[in-house]
Amino acid sequence: MIPAKIDDVFIQLTTDYSGVITNIVAGSFAKTAFIIKDSIYDSCPFLEGTLEALPLNDPFLLEGMVIVSENTEYNIDLELFKEDAQITILIHNRSNVYKYVNQLNQNRNDIFFIKRELAEKNIELEKLRKIADKANEEKSRFLAMMSHEIRNPLNSILGYSEMISSEKLNKKVTEYIKNLSSAGKNLKVIVDDILDLSRIEAGKLVLVNEEISILETIQNCKNDFQHIHTNKNVELIFLASEKLPEIVLGDAVRIQQVLSNLISNAIKFTNKGKVVISLKIAAETKNKITVIFEVTDSGRGMSESQRLKIFEEYQQNELNDHRVYGGAGLGLAIVKRLVEAMNGNISVKSELNKGASFFIEIPFEKKSKLKKQVIISEEVKNKNIDLKGKNILVADDDLMNQTIVAHILKKEKVNVTIVNDGLEALSKIENEVFDVVLLDINMPNMTGEELMKKKATITNVNATSPFLALTANASTEDIERYLTLGFSGVISKPYTIVEFIEKIKSIFLPQ
């Protein structure tokens, strides 16, 4: 007995040499199309001429034919066998097979065209990527150039402000100078924020992973804001858990940058009340610890819609914030990026007129204690260094910067020699002995970089004298390049009088 499923997909019959059907042997496929004593050519016209040409006693396969039965079209394969008295014909219904094959062929064609389209899109995307990379490079180059161009006059603004503020002034002028200095510092923050954001977007932000003291970082923030926080109606409070480890692995500079941004905002938007900075442990294991930094203020707070967009770039909660408080709306966007780069997260809780609280969770690896006395002894040595009588050469083409540097160094009773470019500086260092040489990086005739490269190829009396770079190029990559060239240190513009003197003193510390 033939199973029904098989019986429905084939039919076996015999014919004579002229094609007349003599018997239906088995199967029921398209049975109504084949009737004994009818011609096989009625349903299979493609067999005309084929039957006569069949070889004797040799199977023959015919594939991909089509027949119609009861108005339905079928795809069939035929097996033919010619004997002495008859021809045996086995017909297979292959409609489903051919349907799947056709579908597969169609899919294969579709895949071919999709692959070709993808290849074309990939070529197009590669072109767009190159265009985007070039645009990013141009943007970074533009920002670096603008940073340099802004920092130079900014150095003059802040330098002269600091010089004037040290003179005897009446109350009104003192207030003017204070406002001028504040505006200059705000401009410096904006420039730094734009460069930081550009560096983060370009994937060039590099975090260090060194032994740091979280408590010392907080103390540095406290010291900074004690000097610049002038609103007596706002109390600044620092709290830290006694269980915090003394030493962890992290990036102290970036942590301080994050906290300074948050503290500055909290003070900025709080007219009366308090700003509280607190640290506590969120989780701890043998080798790791997660610390929560919380900055809470009693200022104007935020609505729900403001809170949701606070970490977006160039966002400020009120249209006139940049006029009243300064800034470009980049601070919190950078804070969020920095925290995420440190594998942490940041969140905020706030209500209108009820203040705001920012929460930062950062995981740290634990480390053994540092020898604090080494740091303290270096600070003591630095304070004990006297620049009086030192011979210092300064090469800078900017007259205002020359005036500022001369004013600072003469107050330290330094013997100052000032030249206008690298060629003049080269002539001086070949013939006179200097304890320190300060070179501006961008000068006419010969830049500071060109002079450093030339210095390595000539013998002069200042072969072992320390050289410091004076530059408005303040990126990490720039500073590393200058140190590689042979500079003993870098003084980034704009600088304060204290920073300038401390940097020079630091090169006299024992290495």
**Rounded-to-integer distance, Cα 473 and Cα 483, Å:** 13
Together in a domain, 236 and 350: yes
Given pLDDT bands bounded at 50, 70 and 90, which one contains residue 382? low
DSSP three-state, residue 421: coil
Together in a domain, 362 and 217: yes
DSSP three-state, residue 51: helix
- Residue with the two structure tokens 């780069």: 341
Given pLDDT bands bounded at 50, 70 and 90, which one contains residue 92? very high
Together in a domain, 316 and 334: yes
The dihedral of CA 506, 507, 509, 511: what is its sign? positive
Q: CATH number for the domain including 124?
A: 1.10.287.130
Q: Which of 307, 299, 184, 287 is nearest to 245 (CA)?
A: 287
Q: Read off the pLDDT of residues 269-311 as tens digits, 9 standing for 90 and up.
A: 888 889 999 999 999 888 899 999 999 999 888 888 888 888 7
Q: What is the pTM of this model?
A: 0.53
pLDDT (average), residues 165-173: 82
389/144: higher pLDDT: 389
Q: Which of 345, 367, 353 is nearest to 306 (CA)?
A: 353
Judge whether residue 327 has pLDDT over 50: no
Give the pLDDT of residue 88.
Answer: 95
Q: CATH number for the domain including 46?
A: 3.30.450.20
Give the pLDDT of residue 477.
Answer: 78
What percentage of the chain exceeds 90 in pLDDT? 32
Q: Which of 340, 343, 339 is nearest to 365 (CA)?
A: 343
The answer to whether 363 and 345 have CB atoms below 8 angstroms apart is no
Q: Which of 125-139, 326-340, 370-384, 424-438 has the highest mean pLDDT?
A: 424-438
**Rounded-to-integer distance, Cα 494 and Cα 295, Å:** 29
47 within a domain of the structure (yes/no): yes
Chain centroid to Cα 325, Å, comes to: 28
In the chain, what is the straight-line distance between the N-terminal and C-terminal CA atoms, in Å?
101
The answer to whether 359 and 346 have CB atoms below 8 angstroms apart is yes
Give the pLDDT of residue 234.
Answer: 86
The answer to whether 325 and 264 have CB atoms below 8 angstroms apart is no
Together in a domain, 362 and 215: yes
DSSP three-state, residue 201: helix
The residue among 339, 366, 393 that closes a domain is 366
Give the pLDDT of residue 319.
Answer: 41
37, 58, 82, 345, 379 from 41: Cα distances, Å: 12, 21, 16, 81, 110
Q: CATH number for the domain including 434?
A: 3.40.50.2300
373 within a domain of the structure (yes/no): no
31 within a domain of the structure (yes/no): yes
Q: Read off the pLDDT of residues 241-266 as tens digits, 9 standing for 90 and up.
A: 888 888 899 888 888 888 888 988 88
Helix 399-411 and helix 95-165, axial crossing angle in degrees, nearest 10: 60
Judge whether residue 468 has pLDDT over 60: yes
Q: CATH number for the domain including 324?
A: 3.30.565.10
Together in a domain, 89 and 130: no
376 within a domain of the structure (yes/no): no
- Convert 226-265 to b/e letters by CB count within 10 Å (16 or more is b): eeebeeeebebebebeeebbebbebbbebbbbbbbbbbbb
The answer to whether 107 and 99 have CB atoms below 8 angstroms apart is no
The residue among 75, 93, 111 that closes a domain is 93
Together in a domain, 83 and 228: no
DSSP sequence for 308-375? HHTTSTT--SSTTHHHHT---S-HHHHHHHHHHHTT-EEEEEE-TTS-EEEEEEEEEEE-PPP-HHHH
- Convert 473-511 to b/e letters by CB count within 10 Å (16 or more is b): bbbeebbebbeebebbbbbbbbbebeebbbbbbbbeeee
Together in a domain, 420 and 294: no
201/175: higher pLDDT: 175
511 within a domain of the structure (yes/no): no
372 within a domain of the structure (yes/no): no
The residue among 201, 220, 238 that closes a domain is 201
Together in a domain, 316 and 216: yes
The answer to whether 357 and 350 have CB atoms below 8 angstroms apart is yes
374 within a domain of the structure (yes/no): no
Together in a domain, 141 and 79: no
pLDDT (average), residues 39-56: 92
Q: How many domains in the chain? A: 4
Together in a domain, 110 and 78: no
Together in a domain, 214 and 337: yes
Q: Dihedral of the CA atoms 480, 486, 489, 495 (nearest 10)?
A: -80
Q: Provide the residue range defining the domain that includes 332.
A: 210-366
Given pLDDT bands bounded at 50, 70 and 90, which one contains residue 173? confident
Together in a domain, 130 and 79: no
Least confident piece of the model among 14-23, 136-145, 388-397, 416-425:
136-145
371 within a domain of the structure (yes/no): no
